Amino acid sequence: MSGFFTRALSNRLFWPVVMLVALLVVNAVAVPGFFSITINADGHLFGSLIDILRNGAPTLIIAVGMTLVIATRGIDLSVGAICAIAGAVACSIILDSPDPGGLWTVTVAVATALALSLVLGLWNGFLVAVLGIQPIIATLVLMTAGRGIAMLITEGQILTVESAPFKFLGSGFIVGIPVAVIIGAVLFSLAALLTRRTALGLLIESVGINPEASRQAGVRARGLLFTVYGFCALAAGIAGLILTANQTAADANNTGLFIELDAILAVVIGGTSLNGGRYSLVGTLVGALVIQTLVTTVYTVGIPPIATMVFKAAVVTAVCLLQSPTTNAAFARWRDKLAAGRRVPAEAVAK
């Protein structure tokens, strides 16, 4: 038992998971029946946990892309703006179409929005990989300019759409599970398979840790950077469509506002260093869940709105402290002591 405990403690996901469990317990105490999941009359799953998954899906989707970008030593600040652009493009196409509720219209709208997102991601990749601009600056360009582009597309209006197939993306259900959750799960699995079943993950980590050594080993960093920035922007586009569909309106100013910061936070809580290198998609998943559960907790525990930000800050600070190298070193010493205590009697027996 204690062997399992010391092993678990050395895992970098230990503290994020503890934090997630602690938050869930707090909720369960505050709201009896927090864990209950029921099936309502329409055959849809229903419950607080389902809400957390559904509302956390856009952040998770972006955070998955962000994880890969951060693993290459980069960062992508433009994801929030891309959310807004994707939503604006889709809504304006649907509005201009004679048949806003048609499946074909929505397919064209979604495809166009995602294609544009991908192009914007490749633009980021171009700035970083070809022009060698520092990622934080390169993506800052689109972060600020992107909302302007979205504004031009919506002509400064909030575009409200009445389109059942489009709305389905944000609030629909497939075999009882929210569509947003399914999209999140598919994207997450796809990213995990694509990077870990191929050598993509190894090469990304290698470039993130030591770009020059990787170049000399024949790794094509340029292609990798295009890939990760493109993928991250595509993920942002998907998240933007989910957010927009959920509100059934494109708001150039507010769709995906500050979501880049939540996504970065999810990655960091998940144990991936901002210095690049080793990354953990599972960690990012836990991180995204911690953030969304935190938001839910604020409501269930009834923290007054004015104190919300402070509460959130306190929890995030706690997670970061628990993960800091200093704290980890202290825990490592403690662990060694535990291990040494166990080993001595074993050696004595052997003699």
Q: Does 217 bind another protein (CB under 8 A)?
A: yes
In the complex, the smallest distance separating the C-beta of residue 209 from another protein, rounded to whole angstroms, is 5
Query: Could you tell me which residues come within 8 angstroms of residue 145 by beta carbon, excluding any fewer than 6 positions away?
Result: 81
Q: Does 214 bind another protein (CB under 8 A)?
A: yes
Q: Does 205 bind another protein (CB under 8 A)?
A: yes
Among 22, 141, 200, 338, indicate the residue that binds another protein (CB under 8 A).
Answer: 200
The count of other CB atoms within 10 Å of the CB of residue 227 is 21
Query: Stretches 149-157, 193-201, 303-311, 342-350: which one binds another protein (CB under 8 A)?
Result: 193-201
x/- mask, another protein, residues 247-286, rule CB under 8 A, reads ------------------------------xx--------
Q: What single-letter DSSP state applies at residue 279? A: -
CA-CA distance, 320 to 314, in Å (whole number)? 10
What does the DSSP assignment read for 146-188?
HHHHHHHHHTTS-EE---HHHHHHHH-EETTEEHHHHHHHHHH
In the complex, the smallest distance separating the C-beta of residue 7 from another protein, rounded to whole angstroms, is 13
Tokens, residue 225: 């950077």
CA-CA distance, 323 to 326, in Å (whole number)? 8
Tell me if 37 sits within 8 A of 46, measured CB to CB.
yes
CA-CA distance, 202 to 279, in Å (whole number)? 10
x/- mask, another protein, residues 231-250, rule CB under 8 A, reads --------------------
Q: Does 206 bind another protein (CB under 8 A)?
A: yes
Among 43, 132, 156, 218, indicate the residue that binds another protein (CB under 8 A).
Answer: 218
Footprint of another protein (CB under 8 A)? 197-200, 202-203, 205-206, 209-210, 212-220, 224, 277-278
